Amino acid sequence: MIFFTFALGGCTGHTALQTLADRNDIQLDTLKVREHQIRVLQNHSASESNVLTIYFGGDGRPWREGEPASNPDGRGVLAAELAIKDPRLAFYLGRPCYHRADIPPECKPEMWTSHRYSSEIVKLMAGAVSELLHRESAEYAELIGFSGGGVLALLIAAQLDAVTRVSTIAANLDTEAWVGYHELLPLTGSLNPADSLHSPTQFEQVHLTGTLDKVVPARTIANFRNRHPEAVYLEVEGFDHRCCWLEHWPSILDHINRDIESLRVSPTLPPAAPGDR
């Protein structure tokens, strides 16, 4: 059973997400799911829709100098920045144990290392999505995930009938191939979307990759592409794992939302408008 409570503030401390929120005059919420506290950021958009847009961030820094990190946060919060730039009402959902100044006892290192995409993490995050939908009186959700957040977005969507579309950015869609490419430790307690996701999915899929991405090269998602030919795959010329998604995000969103079927046939995005550069 999952219990939810919302509280303003809480979990205060100097984290990258708190700094971003302060810089943009945003009050962070805390969502309690079972014993875990999940950070929630909402952008300033006043738009109303029956579809809620929810962003998920990357893996941060699970390891440091060959050992599980004592705190999994990385230096950046790109997915939260993307949520802020989204013209629609959008939320960023942190993961359990992320964006915490002090890591509590219920947070175990496997939650951000070997089990970072485990069924337990997916269930917790799916519950958080459901509660956000209820709180905002929205019927459907569109999930957007950056890097490892894209993996979670897909796995969460597979558990929720309310999800209409999943968009991923530079996501390691086949975690086994990705681990093998980088010769990393196996994600023994995690789910792999390439193996666990049924095809076709009940939700739309849009997957964005950069042609210069060395963190998640296009070759590592080949197996996923073969298993999910119904998805839209867009390779963006000159982009790498982090550059230049934020600068061009409003333009990219506009093209995806305006004519997704044409992108399915011709998977290229036109140059960004000068104002988006």
* Domain annotation covers residue 20: no
Q: What number is the average pLDDT over the span 171-182?
A: 98
User: pLDDT tens-digit profile of 36-82?
Assistant: 889 999 999 877 788 999 999 999 999 998 899 999 998 889 999 99
> Which helix (H) or strand (E) covers residue 191, if one does?
none
Residue 170 — very low, low, confident or very high, per pLDDT cuts 50/70/90? Answer: very high
- Residue 268: pLDDT over 80: no
Instruction: Using alpha carbons only, give the angle 209, 250, 47 rounded to the nearest 5 degrees.
Output: 130
Q: 121-154 pLDDT, tens per residue?
A: 999 999 999 999 999 999 999 999 999 999 999 9
- Coil, strand or helix: which one is 35? coil
pLDDT grade for 31, boundaries at 50, 70 and 90: confident
80 located within any domain: yes
State the pLDDT at residue 265: 66
Written as six digits, the tokens of 274 are 């000068």
Domain presence at residue 12: no
Burial category of 175 from C-beta neighbours within 10 Å (exposed 0-12, middle 13-18, buried 19 and up): buried
* Residue 52 domain-assigned (yes or no): yes
The mean predicted confidence, pLDDT, of the chain is: 89
Residue 64 pairs in a beta bridge with 67
User: How many Å apart are CA 260 and CA 266, to the nearest integer?
Assistant: 10
**Could you tell me the pLDDT band of residue 205, with boundaries at 50, 70 and 90?**
very high
pTM (2 decimals)? 0.91
pLDDT in the model for residue 266: 66
Instruction: Kindly indicate the confidence band of residue 269, based on its pLDDT and cuts at 50, 70 and 90.
Output: low
What residues make up the domain containing 243?
Answer: 47-276
The answer as to whether 200 is a domain residue is: yes
In the predicted structure, residue 224 carries a pLDDT above the cut 60: yes
Contact, 112 vs 62, CB < 8 A? yes
pLDDT-derived band at 230 (thresholds 50, 70, 90) equals very high
Residues 276, 247 contacting (CB under 8 angstroms) = yes
Residue 38 lies in a domain: no
Q: Which residue has the higher pLDDT, 103 or 271?
A: 103
Q: Look at residue 270 in the predicted model and tell me its pLDDT.
A: 55
Q: What CATH number is attached to the domain comprising 81?
A: 3.40.50.1820
Q: Taking residues 231-246, what's their average pLDDT?
A: 94
In a domain, 101, yes or no: yes
11 part of a folded domain: no
Task: Report the number of distinct structural domains present in the chain.
Answer: 1
In this prediction, residue 138 carries a pLDDT of 93
For residue 13, name the pLDDT band (cuts at 50, 70, 90): low
Q: Tell me what the mean pLDDT of segment 14-37 comes to.
A: 91
